[in-house]
Each structure stands twice: as C-alpha cells, then as structure tokens.
Amino acid sequence: MQCKDKVAIVTGGTRGIGHAIALMLAREGADICFSYLKNTEAAESLAQEIEKLGGKARALQLDVRDFEKSKELVETAKSHFGRLDIVVNNAGITRDKALMMMTQEDWHEVIDTNLNGAFNVTRHAIVTFLKQRQGNIVTITSVTGLIGLPRQTNYAAAKAGLIGFTKALAREVAAYNIRVNAVAPGLIETDMVAHLKEEYKEALKKRIPLGRFGKAEEVAATVRFLLSESAGFITGQTIVLDGGLSIV
Ligand code: NDP
C-alpha cells in the first residue's frame, strides 16, 4: 500500500481514466478528494466504491476552468483529510474538428479545461506542497501533444502545453522535494473515444503496432508507478503509453 495515510486529489474522477486512477489510489491506501463536472450519480457511486476499498472519499462538483472554485479542491482535501500529498490533473475534454470548421468556443473550451484547468488546481496545491517541502503531481496529457493528430489542433495545443508546464514546474520545485510528471496515453477505451466513428477507430487501430486501444487501468498503473518510490529519481518526464502509435 504505497499511498497509506496519503491524501490525493483527482480531477475528473467520475469516468474513464480518472475513475481508474481514483480506484487505484484507494487500493494503495489513499484518501481521495475528486472533482467532476455534471455526473453526480457517477460521483456517488465512485465514493461508495472507494469506501468499499477501505478509503475515504470526498466528491466535489466543480469546474476546473474556474480558478477560485479549483481552490475548493485543495481546501477540502486539507480541511477534510488534514493533508495533501498527491495531485492528479486528469479532467479533460475534446472538441475534435478540422481547423477550418473550429469555432473560438471549441478552441477556448478545450484549452480552458485541459490546460488552464491543470494550472488552476496545481497553482493552489503548489503553495501547500512548497510549505511542506513534499508533493507529487501527475498530469494526464496525450500522445497527440507529441505527434499531433488531425482534427485536434485545440486538444494537441493544450496537451503539448501540459508537457511544457510539467517540465518547467519540475525544474522550479525539485529543490522542495516535489516531483512533477506527466502521462501521455494513446487511444484508451473510455467515453471520450466511444463517440468516434467506427471507421475512424478501425483506421486508428491499424496504425497502432500493438493492434488495440489501451485500458484506463493501464494508465492508472503508469500513474501508480510515477507516484511510487521506485520513480523517486524521475521528474519532468512524460511517459507515453500508446501501443506504439508514436514510435518514430
Ligand atoms: P472521459 O470523458 O471518460 O471523462 C472525463 C472526466 O473529466 C469526467 O469525470 C468529467 O466529469 C471530467 N470533466 C470534464 N470537464 C471537466 C471540468 N471542466 N471540470 C471538472 N471535471 C471535468 O475522459 P477520459 O477518461 O477518456 O480522459 C481523461 C483524461 O485523459 C483527459 O485529460 C483526456 O484528455 C486524457 N486522455 C484520454 C485519452 C483517451 O483515449 N480516452 C487519450 C489521451 C489522453 P463528468 O463525468 O461530470 O462529465
């Protein structure tokens, strides 16, 4: 139980990758404060699942695009569980479109959620981490931030931004015993991918050397490694898990 007595924040915990990460953290002994946007039923069910695993959970319906609201996540983790050790920036959305069809709203919504959302939560958490001279941050970026998939200029820009954010922050806070890393998944079987057209999914699968999409649990396992003592010398890095899609 590598996270025993630790407290973690997970943004976007109700579904997909965030859900798998929250359950992984609970199995590792952490208490979890997670956020979601709309899905209250899923939030209640996740809180129950965490409690069944012996952890404590606190669900907060808040939009990570809102800087002030994001502070509530950090404050609730600290007031409710008494400490904060881990932040997983996971909340994200796509609004895939060819650039010539993309509206300003499509652009801003994606940048605000994926990139600004991670800034908002991390900006509040870092104050606590610096004071206690200890902390661990993992951000979920995407392989598209490295290779750029078509119809994802907004999403690729946000995810590439998160890779730069991870590198810069890792250098900035390393002296305070704070590690900052990112995970870049390829296509993972979640709601985000479920809505893609079948022909497009099949075409993408053909480009993946391992011939399949990944599982949310595989992303959670990589996050688990980055949070562990075995990864104690790793900071500022982005670990890619994409079945080989981005091999050059
Ligand atoms: P899902 O669409 O399955 O889940 C998204 C989660 O984020 C939900 O819990 C949702 O809450 C929450 N969320 C969305 N917007 C906000 C917001 N503004 N404020 C707070 N919470 C929000 O996504 P995935 O699990 O597939 O993706 C998780 C992360 O992994 C994202 O950052 C995504 O970009 C990244 N990723 C995913 C890949 C994939 O193939 N699936 C590949 C590479 C990266 P609610 O349930 O209430 O809507």
Please tell me the predicted confidence (pLDDT) of residue 248: 85
What distance in Å separates the CA atoms of residue 104 and residue 162, rounded to the nearest whole number?
20
Residue nearest to atom 4 of ligand 1 (CA): 15
Q: Which atom of ligand 1 is nearest to the CA of 91?
A: 7
Q: Which atom of ligand 1 is nearest to the CA of 65?
A: 18
CA of 192 to the centre of ligand 1 (A): 7
The domain ranges of the chain are: 7-240
Q: Which residues are catalytic?
A: 155
- Under the banding of pLDDT at 50, 70 and 90, the label for residue 43 is very high
What distance in Å separates the CA atoms of residue 92 and residue 165, rounded to the nearest whole number?
16
What distance in Å separates the CA atoms of residue 165 and residue 139, rounded to the nearest whole number?
10
CA of 103 to the centre of ligand 1 (A): 21
Give the pair of three-digit tokens for residue 108: 């801003």
User: Given the DSSP bridges, would you call strands 238-241 and 135-140 parallel, antiparallel or unpaired?
Assistant: unpaired
CA of 90 to the centre of ligand 1 (A): 6
Mutation choice for ligand 1 from 44, 45, 93, 116, CB with most ligand atoms inside 8 A: 93
Give the pair of three-digit tokens for residue 78: 């600290």
Question: What average pLDDT does this structure show over 174-187?
Answer: 98
Assigned architecture for domain 7-240:
3-Layer(aba) Sandwich (3.40)
What distance in Å separates the CA atoms of residue 11 and residue 88, rounded to the nearest whole number?
7
Question: What average pLDDT does this structure show over 237-243?
Answer: 98
pLDDT tens, 118-153?
Answer: 999 999 999 999 999 999 999 999 999 999 999 999
- Under the banding of pLDDT at 50, 70 and 90, the label for residue 24 is very high
CB 204 within 8 A of CB 226: no
Q: Model pTM? A: 0.98
CB 170 within 8 A of CB 236: yes
* DSSP H helices in the chain: 16-27, 40-52, 67-81, 104-110, 117-132, 144-147, 153-173, 191-194, 198-206, 216-227
Give the pair of three-digit tokens for residue 39: 């899905």
Give the pair of three-digit tokens for residue 162: 């998160």
